[in-house]
Structure 1
Amino acid sequence: MTASSPATEPSRMRTGVAGLDQILDGGLATNRLYLIEGAPGAGKTTLALQFLLEGRARGERGLYVTLSETAEELATVAASHGWTLGGIDLFELAAAEAALSPDRETTLLHPWEVELGETVKLITDEAERTGAVRVVFDSLSEMRLLAQDSLRFRRQILALKQFFAGRGSTVFLLDDRVNAGGRDLQLHSLCHGVISLERLTLDFGAARRRMEVSKMRGARYREGWHDYVITSGGLDVFPRLIAAEHHVPFVGDAVPSGLASLDAMVDGGPLRGTCTLISGPAGTGKSTIAVQYVHTAALRGEHCAIYQFDERAGTLLTRAAKLGLDLRPHIESGMVTLRQIDPAQVSPGEFTQMLRLDAEQNKTRLVVIDSLSGYVTSMPQEKQLVLQLHELLSYLNQRGILTLLINPQSGLMGNMQSNLNTSYIADTILLLRYFEAGGRVRKALSVIKNRGGAHEDSIREFRIDQAGLRVGETLVEFQGVLTGTPTYLGESAPLLEERGVDFA
């Protein structure tokens, strides 16, 4: 990738896909030939139609040359997205058959039955007649069949490139990429830019799609793979996140939970622009602690967002209301956004885009991701997951957002292990444990890390009941609480009993 000097950089042409334009640093250079490659179903035709529709909206003439689909099929594709093709010129292979054999009866025409040179001549004549500024060829697979020889095919593509360069047209060449080698590198060398679309079928869940700008001469662009989805309105592309580009000034003050005893353990609360990992086995109260922070922040007038991967949103709201942490009024006022995420349907790129919209449009100050195991499910490749999560948390930190990341530990009672080692990216870690005392299952809370300041090194009992959340005294008469099998050394039980008021 190279950057052009301002004196020679050509004008930019919007593609009609906002996310792709961001990846391309504003759009495509005009008067160039571009290759759009990908397997069937990747969305090449949809992208090409958006490209032409964008031109129509800007008053630029467009020409769609279809060698594989009929005009009726294209109209059906457009209608599925709510589009019409009025104002866009269409040239079908059937038109070439009629022109080359006017006295022939109408029959089903195979691509190899038409001479390549004569067909291309008809196409260029149509381009001259329409004065098209944007041109789409769909697809090169048919032209290969017409050429029947790689050298002849290459020469014909080069001739098309020279023809359209002289007319100031920007051209999309769609290629199915079904040849034996997977990619036509000779074709890559002829084109000014190459955009690759990929469709991935997972073992379970919806297919995932991603794109890569693998080549763009003399222009800046964002490298790497970018997730995208095909919706009823076309392609929605999610550019790969680079956290360093999104820093905003903020004050890194402490964020209180509203529970004095808990805040005292974390030196007033975790700092803005940091990530707090709440770790522990199932049922210890990780999500409840996060809701406590959200409820308090909403009362202060701060926008919060909860991304619920595991628990059903309705269950969370009902449980929180019983603890005196009713989030429904804050959701209705728009102060809290609660999103139920299906990891089988949402790609990491789409999830990141949701977070960005909340952060940049809603000015969110606190984000809860519940939980890490649900996020892991959305992305099977673990190495990529670590990089994605690190970049995502760095982005939230750069914007001064406090992130609460729920981290379930393995096993019902917990064994100090999690599915993924994320402790190194957390600034604060709250650890919850079960322990047994007096024939009862109890919970313990400790702060084992706090980069933002001092923190207690004590282990305290933690309880959730009708009175809400309570943090008790230090468990000085127990030994081995963190192991889950503590030894009681005292003579009495100085533990939290049932109360009707908050201990704090």
Structure 2
Amino acid sequence: MNTNVSPEVGNVEQLALLRMGVPGLDNILGGGLTPHRLYLLEGAPGAGKTTVAIQFLREGAARGESVLYVTLSETKAELEGVAISHGWDMRGVEVREMLPAQDALEPDEQHTMFHPSEVELSETTLRILADVDVIKPTRVVFDSLSELRLLAGSSLRYRRQILALKQFFTGRMCTVLLLDDLTASDQDLQVQSIAHAVIRLEQLNPDYGASRRRLVVSKYRGKEFRGGFHDYKIERGGLRVFPRLVAAEHVSPLTQTRIPSDLPALDQLLGGGLEKGTSTLFVGAPGTGKSSVAVQFAIAAARRGECAALFIFDESINTLRTRCEGMGMDLATHIDSGRIRVRQIDPAELSPGEFVHEIRDAVEKHHATVVVIDSLNGYLNAMPDERFLIAQLHELLTYLGQYGVATMLIGAQHGLIGMQMQTPVDASYLADAVVLLRYYEIDGEVRQAISVLKKRGGAHERTIRAFTLTSDGVRVGEPLRNFRGILTGIPVPIDGVRSTP
């Protein structure tokens, strides 16, 4: 069963679910794992299977459960090394090594460990079952199936072995997590068909930047879960999952109100300001003042006692503070007070899912009413496939709108002047308002103009106004009425009238 559901739905079934101990994963699993079932966690080496397994057992140990880690590939010292790297200890976690004995390397000692009988368990399996009867665990991790597959010899015997293990553990009220490193030459569907649920970890290696990791729940019998791919990362403290955003789960009533910029001329141009719950795209050539206008709205929100969040891709926080200081904008004061939160994003290191998670934190935990994404060009670099960028951006803007957030997107166009300006990704149809900033030439000088091309929230001025960045901040001037062709970059006086715009 694969549907998108909210994890907050409370019912009797969910109260009995086992928590994984992995932030975000229970959200995807609809609350956790159904007890007394067999589960498969698969992924290539390095994807984080052992980390998830230890987190799963430590969660059980923290709840007073008896837990067991059965390893056929790694030693106890290696597992403890993984735990130490995350700042954990293994107290409460029983570890049983089922590694081949040292004398097994001797030619005389090499023999088939399985008897011909299809119903008789191997020596290795019998040792595992004996430990289970003594420890009586409620959670068991079996690492890994590759060794068991080799011991079984044939696919038929391997499947029977897994079925026997499933029956044995279920009868003893155990929840079992089987790890598979996918080292088999062909995809193994044997265990997938037997397991109650299948979680797959994937690791992607782009041409540049850090590895991207994502997981998908491909199967969960009788349980609703969040389908699709979800980004995750491995950091000190364990694996952390960023569930895919579903805006439909966050619908809430909203009273639409306008937020001013504290610049009368700009608010007049915008028909009174920007509406909460809408998105605005500031588009123009580099240096036209797009980011400065967005920061002006953030500062105005901070002055009203609200919180604003800036996510910047293209410049450092220090550069932003210095630039605003040079224009007399008191950004630093509001950053220090916590009213404005600035997060510098490195698209080579941050996955799209983690970026969305950062925005959700700003909105849900810090109650940001203004969110600035500067810029879409950097966002595009974080997700090179434009098709999925637009789909994710649409979901994100819908979510922010339903929370009553005024979202501002910065889009830098290619080119500096003229009509051949291009935007690397067209998000104008997604935004509720589009504000255009352009350069134009007059009297041997390059100047700037601002205009509103679109605004769904209400009426706005159709004029093109003069726009400047000064040591006193952003300045929006009077409409440029004595010229035509401002947007072409080379305006022409109307009826021979020559006045400086």
TM-score normalized by structure 2? 0.93
Higher mean C-alpha displacement, 259-268 vs 484-493? 484-493
Matching residue of 2:413:
409
Matching of residues 261-410 of structure 1 within 5 Å: 261-410=265-414
- What letter matches 1:192 in structure 2? H
Matching residue of 1:212:
216
Residue 249, structure 1, aligned to residue 253, structure 2: yes
CA distance 1:151–1:328, shift in 2 (3 Å): same
- What letter matches 1:89 in structure 2? E
Asked if the contact 1:14/1:27 (under 8 Å) is kept, the reply is: yes
Structure 1 unaligned regions, length at least 5: 99-103, 497-504
Q: CA deviation at 1:2?
A: 6.2
Matching residue of 1:474:
479
Which runs of at least 4 in structure 1 moved beyond 4 Å after TM superposition? Answer: 2-10, 104-116, 490-493
Asked if the contact 1:278/1:431 (under 8 Å) is kept, the reply is: yes
CA distance in 2, matches of 1:142, 1:111: 16
Residue 120, structure 1, aligned to residue 125, structure 2: yes
Matching residue of 1:20:
25
Asked if the contact 1:68/1:142 (under 8 Å) is kept, the reply is: yes
The correspondence for 2:97, drawn from 86, 92, 109, is 92
Q: Secondary structure at the match of 1:36?
A: strand
CA distance in 1, matches of 2:167, 2:234: 33
CA distance 1:242–1:109, shift in 2 (3 Å): farther
Q: Secondary structure at the match of 2:68?
A: strand
Matching residue of 2:239:
235
Query: Once the two structures are superposed, what CA deviation does each residue of 1:413-450 show, in whole Å capped at 9, x if it has no partner?
Result: 47332111111110011001111011100111110000
Asked if the contact 2:2/2:226 (under 8 Å) is kept, the reply is: no
Asked if the contact 1:134/1:170 (under 8 Å) is kept, the reply is: yes
Q: CA deviation at 1:332?
A: 1.1
Q: CA deviation at 1:18?
A: 2.6
- What letter matches 2:77 in structure 1? E
- What letter matches 2:450 in structure 1? L
Residue 260, structure 1, aligned to residue 264, structure 2: yes
Structure 2 unaligned regions, length at least 5: 4-8, 115-120
CA distance 1:2–1:205, shift in 2 (3 Å): closer
Residue 136, structure 1, aligned to residue 141, structure 2: yes
Residue 198, structure 1, aligned to residue 202, structure 2: yes
Residue 158, structure 1, aligned to residue 152, structure 2: no
Residue 76, structure 1, aligned to residue 76, structure 2: no
Pairwise CA RMSD: 2.3
Asked if the contact 1:267/1:454 (under 8 Å) is kept, the reply is: yes
Matching residue of 1:500:
none
Matching residue of 1:146:
151
- What letter matches 2:356 in structure 1? T
CA distance in 1, matches of 2:22, 2:498: 65
CA distance in 2, matches of 1:218, 1:309: 43
Higher mean C-alpha displacement, 480-489 vs 158-167? 480-489
Residue 436, structure 1, aligned to residue 441, structure 2: yes
Asked if the contact 1:37/1:174 (under 8 Å) is kept, the reply is: yes
Give % identity. 52
CA distance in 2, matches of 1:408, 1:112: 69
Q: Secondary structure at the match of 1:365?
A: strand
Q: Secondary structure at the match of 1:13?
A: coil
Q: CA deviation at 1:252?
A: 1.1
- What letter matches 1:254 in structure 2? R
CA distance in 2, matches of 1:109, 1:383: 61
CA distance in 1, matches of 2:10, 2:271: 51
CA distance in 1, matches of 2:421, 2:244: 33
Query: Once the two structures are superposed, what CA deviation does each residue of 1:49-95 show, in whole Å capped at 9, x if it has no partner?
Result: 0000000000111111111111111110010001111221111123x
Asked if the contact 1:67/1:142 (under 8 Å) is kept, the reply is: yes
Asked if the contact 2:416/2:439 (under 8 Å) is kept, the reply is: no
CA distance in 1, matches of 2:39, 2:490: 65
Aligned length: 489
Q: CA deviation at 1:149?
A: 0.7
Higher mean C-alpha displacement, 163-172 vs 487-496? 487-496
CA distance in 1, matches of 2:491, 2:30: 59
CA distance 1:59–1:367, shift in 2 (3 Å): same
CA distance in 2, matches of 1:300, 1:9: 42
Higher mean C-alpha displacement, 210-219 vs 106-115? 106-115
TM-score normalized by structure 1? 0.93
CA distance in 1, matches of 2:389, 2:59: 35
CA distance in 1, matches of 2:313, 2:88: 34
Q: CA deviation at 1:135?
A: 0.5
Matching residue of 2:56:
51
